[in-house]
Structure formats: structure tokens, C-alpha cells
Amino acid sequence: MAAMFLAPPSSTALLLRRDPNRAVPSLNLRSNSHKTLSIKSYSASLTQDQLKKLAADKAVEYVKSGMVLGLGTGSTAAFVVSKIGELLKSGELTDIVGIPTSKRTEEQALSLGIPLSILDDHPELDLAIDGADEVDPNLDLVKGRGGALLREKMVEAASDKFVVVVDDMKLVDGLGGSKLAMPVEVVQFCWKYNLVRLQGLFKEQGCEAKLRLNGDGKPYVTDNSNYIVDLYFETPIKDGPGAGKAISDLEGVVEHGLFLNMATAVIVAGKEGVTVKAK
């Protein structure tokens, strides 16, 4: 693999600040417009997993000792958790508390010696880092193909800053544009009733709704003992906030995978390097 060169954060895209009301630093990534920092890696032959790791390593640069962190779920987030574990073991990070977004993230973090807690004890987090299934030009997201959307949304909504880590295959012009699943978590009771109603909401987008199944053909069950109905769109969702509200208004819907106006920054790894997109 070719050598990778990562520049420090741009002063116009990512800034570290100390909040006088907090004991630890937090990220100041908000501004009035999207700003982009491109970091060349000169690694044209990287695999998708290597791209994910490159982006994950960049995201972990913004983790500081003393932080309470939201730990995401999925293949990209697993690289983040692994890196945090390495830095704790080496002593480069200390006094970290992690809030996992799934049972499998909890198991991984514990195996790496990362101290864990829950939202009940830490209702305000300094930073959450997680992957995403889709990212649109407004930095709105589709998440939850790994099945952890409810806990992810709870933890990331409670975080002061939310940094998203993806490879460039996850970039879309509009949410639903990948034609892959946009998940909706529903109660088990009369799940088919809600599947039909969800599909009916998006007839104009050519939506097809399917119950998520395990490899054995049985319904997939979330960490919260619910089912997931996956929505597949022929055309992108035109009105994200409107779609999210319409889905949430259905009785029996627990949560949906539209993460709107939540991301503070998105770190994208591609063949030409790492790009940081910030609001």
C-alpha cells in the first residue's frame, strides 16, 4: 500500500475549541455553509475496507482524553472503536467513557478495554462517531442497515457533535438514491399492517417495502425486540423532513432511518484521499 499523508484539520473546516461550561474540549464544526477539506492519500489501489479505516482513523483524531463518546454500529464504526481501543491501551487517550449504540458494539468495546456507560448516567455526550448508509449533499443521512437505528439515533441526538465516517460509495444525490434499504423499526404486533401502510406512503417514489429477514428466513429482531421494514425507492425521497414525519406518525412505528440535520461533519474516504465536509 502506498504511504498515506494526513494533514491536520483545516481551520476553515474543523476547529477544536474549549467550552467553558465543559471540562473537556469539543468540536466546533458548525458554520453557515458547507466547507470541504481535501486530504490527499495517494492511495489509488485501496480496498473499500481500507478506505473505511482511513476515514475512521481521521475521525478518531478528534477524540480527546476525558470525552464521553457515542460509539456507532457497523463495519465502519468498528474501525473507529478498534482505533480508540488501541489509543487507550497505548496511553495516548485516557478517561474515555463510551456509550455503545448496539450490543455488538458493546461487546467489541468491552473486549478492547473501553470503559462503557449508558445514556441514563451520561445524558450529554461530547462526541459521537458513526458510519452511514447514504449521505446527501445537505449532509442528511440514511442509517440503520445494520439494524441499530433506534439506539444510534438516541445516542447521536444526545451528542454535542456527530461525526460521520463513510467511503465515497455512500454519497448520493438524494436520500434513497442508492436504491438500497431505508429501514423503519416497527413493533412486532401487526407488522404487515404497517408494512402495507409504509409502502403506500411513497407510491410516487415507486417504493417497495419488505420485512427484513435473517439468513434462516426468520424475521430479523432488533436489540429492542422489534422488527425492521426496509423501504426501497426507485427515485430519491423529495422531502426528507416530510417523509420522516409521515413515517413517525404511523402507530406502531418506533423509529426510521432518516437522520436529518444531525451530522456535524462527514469524513469521506475515496481513491484520491480523505475529504471532510462540515456544516
CATH of the domain at 150: 3.40.50.1360
**What sign results for the dihedral spanned by CA atoms 2, 7, 8, 14?**
negative
Q: How many of the other CB atoms lie within 10 Å of CB of 149?
A: 28
Residue 27 in domain: no
Amino acid at 151: R
Residues 6+ apart with CB under 8 A from 150: 185, 222, 223, 224, 226, 254, 255
Residue 9 in domain: no
Dihedral pair phi/psi, residue 275, rounded to 5°: -120, 130
Mean residue pLDDT across the chain? 88
196 has a pLDDT exceeding 50: yes
Each as own residue / partner, the long-range contacts of residues 22-27 (CB below 8 Å, 24 or more positions apart, any chain) are 22/126, 23/66, 24/64, 24/65, 24/66, 24/67, 24/126, 25/64, 26/67, 26/126, 26/127, 26/160, 26/161, 27/62, 27/127, 27/160, 27/161, 27/163, 27/264, 27/265
List of E strands, 224-264? 227-232, 253-256, 258-259
Residue 195 in domain: yes
Residue from 182, 176, 101 nearest 144 by CA:
182
Residue from 39, 44, 75, 262 nearest 170 by CA:
75
Total domains, the chain: 1
Summarised one tens digit per residue, pLDDT across range 25-34 is: 344 444 434 5
Quick one: pLDDT at residue 272?
Answer: 80
Amino acid at 63: V
Summarised one tens digit per residue, pLDDT across range 151-178 is: 999 999 999 999 999 999 999 999 999 9
Residue 152 bears catalytic tag: yes
Of 152, 156, 185, 255, catalytic? 152
Residue 14 in domain: no
Residue 268 in domain: yes
Residue 124 in domain: yes
Give the ranges where the chain is alpha helix by DSSP (H): 48-60, 75-90, 103-111, 149-157, 191-201, 240-248
Residue 30 in domain: no
Summarised one tens digit per residue, pLDDT across range 32-83 is: 345 665 555 445 678 888 889 999 999 999 999 999 999 999 999 999 999 9
- Cα of first residue to Cα of last residue in the chain, in angstroms, is 32
Residue 104 in domain: yes
Identify the domain containing residue 124 by its residue range: 48-278
